[in-house]
Amino acid sequence: MTPVEFLAWVRGPMFQIAVAIFALGVAIRIVEIFVLGRKQDLSEPRRDGVVPGIKTIFGRSIPDTGTFKRSPLNVVAGYIFHIGLFTTILFFVPHIELFHSVLGLQWPGLPTPFIDAVTVVTIFAMVVILINRLRNPVLKFLSTFEDYLCWLVTLLPLLTGYLAFHRMLFPYQTMLGIHILSVEILLIVFPFTKLMHFFTVFLARWYNGSAFGRRGVQS
């Protein structure tokens, strides 16, 4: 397979396979949760749970002071990593062009040197996160193969994107192909792993916030 053929494959059939697995897998996982549902709570609520539920969906992004003091590294590195990841995905001009061609939606991008710097910072944050996972006794204890797999498949698109952009390691077309493939791997792994939290975090926070809220506590 020549680099051109490889690129055509990852952009064509492989892309469609990955997107199909991602979409179907995510749909199954979400439907599974909704099918289980929640039993009606017969206790008399102190107040309606809807507003507190919505508040928790947003509010839980901000850690309480005690949590921040006890795991500052987790919070700071986690923040940088999440913001950095979404900035590079959503505001790199070639990515926007891809979204435009697939979804028909368009928005302004950020200057490429800025995205470049964000990528470096995000990769650095991810390395810190990995070291923390390997060293911190709680994280080490909790971590499974899945945690390391998710870390790897999330890192690879960042790393290969950086290398492709800087024309490093392999010729550009090959590296770009590898970059696209790494994203496809991420999409395929997604529905089978904790990466699902990207969607289910909203459900979890909602259930938590509304349950505490109807008892009169903003969680």
Partner 1 sequence: MSTPAERATNAFKEQIDGPIASYLSSCVHCGMCAHACLFYTETEDPRYTPINKVEPLRRVWKSEYTFFGKLASKFGLTKSVTDELLKEWELLIYDACTLCGRCSMVCPVGNDIAYMIRKTREGMIAAGYAPRGLKDATYRAVTVGSPMGVKLPALKAQIKHVEKDTGLKVPLDVEGADYMALLSSMEIMNFPEYIEALTRLFDKAGVSWTLCSEAFEATNSGMQIGSSDIEGELIQRIVDGAEKLKVKYVISPECGHAYYALRWEGPNVIGKKYPFEVVHILELLDQLRAQGKLKVEGKLDQKLTFHDPCQIVRKGGVVDEPRRLLNMVSSNFVEMEDAGVMNWCCGGGGGVSANERAEPLKLTVFNRKKSQLEKLGVNTMVTACANCRINLEEGIEHTNMDVEVVGLAETLAEHLAD
DSSP for 190-209 reads GGGSGGGHHHHHHHHHHHHH
* Token pair 């911190």: residue: 136
User: Is residue 29 at the binding interface for partner 1, with CB under 8 A as the rule?
Assistant: yes
Cβ distance to partner 1 smaller for residue 177 or 209:
209
- Tell me the two tokens of residue 138: 């709680």
- Tell me the two tokens of residue 44: 């008399």
Q: How far is the CB of 121 from partner 1 (least distance, A)?
A: 20
- Tell me the two tokens of residue 63: 């850690």
DSSP for 141-163 reads HH--HHHHHHHHHHHHHHHHHHH
The whole-angstrom separation of Cα 73 and Cα 93 is: 31
Q: How far is the CB of 91 from partner 1 (least distance, A)?
A: 24
CB proximity list for 202: less than 8 A, separation 6 or greater: 57
Write the binding mask 183 to 202 for partner 1: x where contact by CB under 8 A, - elsewhere.
Answer: --------xx-x-xx--xx-
- Determine the interface stretch with partner 1 among 111-119, 167-175, 178-186, 204-212 (rule: CB under 8 A): 204-212
The single residue among 2, 32, 108, 145 that binds partner 1, judged by CB under 8 A, is 32
- Determine the interface stretch with partner 1 among 28-36, 84-92, 118-126, 173-181 (rule: CB under 8 A): 28-36
Write the binding mask 126 to 165 for partner 1: x where contact by CB under 8 A, - elsewhere.
Answer: ----------xxxxxxxxx--x------------------
Q: Which residues bind partner 1 (CB under 8 A)?
A: 25, 28-29, 32-34, 36-39, 41-44, 46, 56-57, 60-61, 63-64, 66-67, 70-71, 74, 78, 136-144, 147, 191-192, 194, 196-197, 200-201, 203-209, 211-212, 215-219
